Amino acid sequence: MIAVDYTVGNALLTEWLPKGEDSKRQSHLLIYWTIGFILSYIAGTLITGFGAYTWQVILATGAVPAIITALFRSFFPLPASPT
C-alpha cells in the first residue's frame, strides 16, 4: 500500500490540482517524504531495548503508516479521472 502511494501520489497530484498549484504541492509531497524518511531512521535508532526482538519491532512499526493509508483510502476513495 505504501509503495503504491509513493509512486502514484505524485501523478494524482499532477492530475487533480490546478496548474498553478501543482508544482508547489509536489514540492510539499517530496518534503514530507523526506521528513518521513528521517523520522523513520530516528524511530529505528530509538527502538533498541527489545533485545533479540528489536528487528521485529522495527519491522512491525512499518505497518503503522500502511494501516493509516489503508484506512484513509477506504474512507476517502479516489474518484475517477477528471479527463
Give the global pTM.
0.60
Q: What's the pLDDT score for residue 1?
A: 55
Q: What's the pLDDT score for residue 83?
A: 63
Q: Which three cell numbers stand for residue 33?
A: 517524504
In tens digits, the chain (83 residues) has pLDDT values of 566 776 777 777 778 788 887 788 888 888 988 998 898 888 878 888 788 888 888 888 888 888 888 888 888 877 776 66
How far apart are alpha carbons 21 and 14 in whole angstroms? 9
Q: What's the pLDDT score for residue 14?
A: 78
